[in-house]
Amino acid sequence: MIGNLEVTRKSSVSPQSPHHRIGEAARLSGVSAANIRYYEKEGLLAAGVRGGNSYRFYSDAEVHRLRFVRLCRAMDMSLDEVRTLLALDVRGAGTDHAACATLDEHLQHVRTRLAELRTLERALLDLRSRCDGTGAQCHVIEALHARADAEPVPPPAAVGRRHV
């Protein structure tokens, strides 16, 4: 007996019945217990059933859902993108290729980020070229100070949040 849930053998438990405590669900899914609680708060996962001892319990289907979320997050998808894909999954086959539209949008974010990273790489290489390690003084810090003074401060709206 686990809390108020009777579990005699794992094979006798339905895949839908909650029988994994949060630590085991975390281990099986690769999602930390803290993130499981966060995903519950964000509505990506229903709150775990609580046993008589107040432990949360999760079904195999919920563990799979956590693995799905982890995979999407590993592909740098935002919570909203994951939420959209989960909603499409629930609706089933009649989704009219909406998952493709979500992926296309995410691909655009990835391409934008790649362009930003290439720009960052060029800026870092330019800074690194200020010092070849042979002179008496490294000029990287002074180049950073000069750049900090030369760059305009962006307006608050331009500092916006990233998509993830």
Domain borders along the chain are 10-74, 103-151
Look at 161 and 125; give whichever has higher pLDDT.
125
Backbone CA torsion sign across 128, 132, 133, 139 = negative
- The string of pLDDT tens digits covering residues 13-37 is 455 677 899 999 999 999 999 999 9
- Could you read off the pLDDT of 49-75 as tens digits, one per residue? 888 788 889 999 999 999 999 999 999
Q: Which CATH architecture has domain 10-74?
A: Orthogonal Bundle (1.10)
Phi/psi-derived region of residue 32, left when phi > 0, alpha when psi is between -120 and 50, beta in every other case: beta
**What band does 98 get if pLDDT is binned at 50, 70 and 90?**
confident
Q: Assign 92 a pLDDT band (cuts: 50, 70, 90).
A: low
Residue 150 has pLDDT above 80, yes or no: yes
Provide the β-strand partners of residue 49: 57
DSSP string, the chain: -BTTB--S-GGGS-TTS--EEHHHHHHHHT--HHHHHHHHHTTSSPPPEE-TTS-EEE-HHHHHHHHHHHHHHHTT--HHHHHHHHHHHHH-GGGTTHHHHHHHHHHHHHHHHHHHHHHHHHHHHHHHTT--S-SSS--HHHHHHHHHHHSPPPPGGGG-----
Residue 80 has pLDDT above 80, yes or no: yes
